Amino acid sequence: MNFSYWENKHIISKPDFTIIGAGITGLTTAIFLKNKFPDKKITILERGITPWGASSKNAGFACFGSMSEILADIDNVGLNETIELVEKRWKGLSELIALLGKDGIGHQNNGGHELFTPMQKELHSKSLNALDQINQALFPIFKEQVFSVSKNAFGFKGIEGMITNKFESQIDTGLMLKNLTALALNKGIQILNGAEVRDYKEENSKVEIELNGGMKLSTSRLILCVNGFASKFLEEDIKPARAQVLITKPIENLKIKGTFHMEEGYYYFRNIDDRILFGGGRNLDFDGETTTEMENTEQILHQLENYLKEVILPDQKFEVDYHWAGIMGVGSQKKPIIKALSDRVYCGVRLGGMGVAIGTLVGKELAEMIE
């Protein structure tokens, strides 16, 4: 299939920068590049009608991690790198707010709470013992105490402890992405949906991109912002991780407020529009959830519904309205991969399930490194 004369002249003609992926990272990379090079032509290629990975499918947590999640990161990469990651996530959220404003992303700071069940006594004890150390390590960033012990004031059942993070917030994912897309389009950035990239190769002073349907596009610079789908193009420490989510129908007099984490962040829920949005369960089947298939599984949906019935809404009637899945990009480390792969190809991937918080900063750092 060939492009027409009109398509070649006005739409497909050689862009200066081509970005794969119209999620948070891809859009913000394009916006920062346009600010830096206002006369350059920038095109974003997106395989789906909406962003195909997790940017339009996440739970809307503007977070940097629960207490036990931070402790797990310290065990993995050490204290200094963990605190550096927290700071990057906090700066990333600030950059997103600077671009769109709090109203533009539906930002609410209602705090975040980690719940501990009786089966997690050891983890709860470890988290309590580390409270002062972590607050002290985070103080230079936030200038306040971040974590504190709190009471179960929401009627959860079978919870023996709760630790609150006063800086955790939440956003309206759809509103954020709608306004980020509008900002990109307003700056003259072109977005081509339904454009799945099959492969690319560098030839002389350009990069040739092969699209679905046998179509081809030529560009001066290529930037990969594909996160969970990065292993298709990159040989890096990154793999896909599916996140499954369900949402209830509206619940009358729902008192739950804020964001909530359980089991080292592998389960998470919140109140949105008087509904409970509940996601997670990847730890039930790590191998099965290392996939780019955007389908739900009975095993995980069943576990999410059980937690709703037994812990979160034990004395309330509810109905599940619908469910979905998104694809994150994870690795043995959570530090994002932002680098030049060659003189003409760059990448910003492995957001580690924190795309809302860190995606904008990754986009900014990518734009800054490209000359």
Pair 247, 294 in one domain: yes
The structural domain count of the chain equals: 2
Q: Give bridge partners of residue 326 from the DSSP assignment.
A: 243
Pair 147, 256 in one domain: yes
One-letter amino acid of 139 = F
One-letter amino acid of 254 = L
Question: Residue 221's pLDDT is what?
Answer: 97
Task: State the DSSP string of 34-65.
Answer: HHH-TTS-EEEEESSSS-SSSTTTS--EE---
Is residue 291 within 8 A of residue 240, CB to CB? The reply is yes
Pair 158, 250 in one domain: yes
Residue 92 within any structural domain of the chain = no
Pair 248, 161 in one domain: yes
Kindly state the tokens that stand for 73: 């990161």
- CA distances 263 to 117, 118, 225, 249, 355, Å, are 9, 12, 29, 25, 20
Question: Residue 250's pLDDT is what?
Answer: 97
Question: Residue 338's pLDDT is what?
Answer: 97
Half-sphere exposure for 367 (CA within 13 Å, toward CB): 22
Residue 186 within any structural domain of the chain = yes
Q: Rounded distance, CA 319 to CA 327, Å? A: 25
Pair 326, 179 in one domain: no
pLDDT along the chain (371 residues), means of 10: 81 90 98 98 95 92 92 94 95 97 97 94 96 97 96 92 96 97 97 95 93 91 96 93 97 93 93 96 96 96 96 93 96 93 96 94 97 86
Residue 266: its H or E element: none
Residue 200 within any structural domain of the chain = yes
Q: Rounded distance, CA 154 to CA 231, Å? A: 41
**What is the CATH number for 24?**
3.50.50.60
Residue 79 within any structural domain of the chain = no
Q: Which residue has the tokens 């709703």?
A: 308
Residue 19 within any structural domain of the chain = yes
Q: C-alpha 22: how far from its chain's center? A: 13
- Domain span including residue 193: 5-57+174-233+335-369
Pair 155, 272 in one domain: yes
Q: What is the pTM of this model?
A: 0.95
Residue 127 within any structural domain of the chain = yes
Contacts for 301 with CB less than 8 Å, ≥ 6 apart: 244, 246, 323
Exposure string for 86-99, b = 16+ CB within 10 A, e = fewer: bbbbbbbbebbbeb
Q: Rounded distance, CA 252 to CA 265, Å? A: 27
Question: Residue 14's pLDDT is what?
Answer: 84
User: In terms of Cα–Cα distance, which of 83, 59, 341 is closest to 221?
Assistant: 341
**What is the CATH number for 279?**
3.30.9.10
Residue 80: its H or E element: helix 79-100
Parallel, antiparallel or unpaired: strands 221-224 and 345-349: parallel
Pair 34, 160 in one domain: no
Pair 243, 143 in one domain: yes
Task: State the DSSP string of 276-319.
Answer: EEEEE-GGG-HHHHSS------HHHHHHHHHHIIIIISTTS---
Pair 212, 357 in one domain: yes
Question: Residue 1's pLDDT is what?
Answer: 67
Residue 95 within any structural domain of the chain = no
User: In terms of Cα–Cα distance, which of 13, 20, 9 is closest to 193?
Assistant: 20
Pair 263, 322 in one domain: yes
Question: Residue 56's pLDDT is what?
Answer: 93
Pair 153, 245 in one domain: yes
Q: Rounded distance, CA 96 to CA 224, Å? A: 20
Question: Residue 355's pLDDT is what?
Answer: 92
Residue 128 within any structural domain of the chain = yes
Pair 51, 187 in one domain: yes
User: In terms of Cα–Cα distance, which of 133, 83, 95 is closest to 334?
Assistant: 83
One-letter amino acid of 231 = S
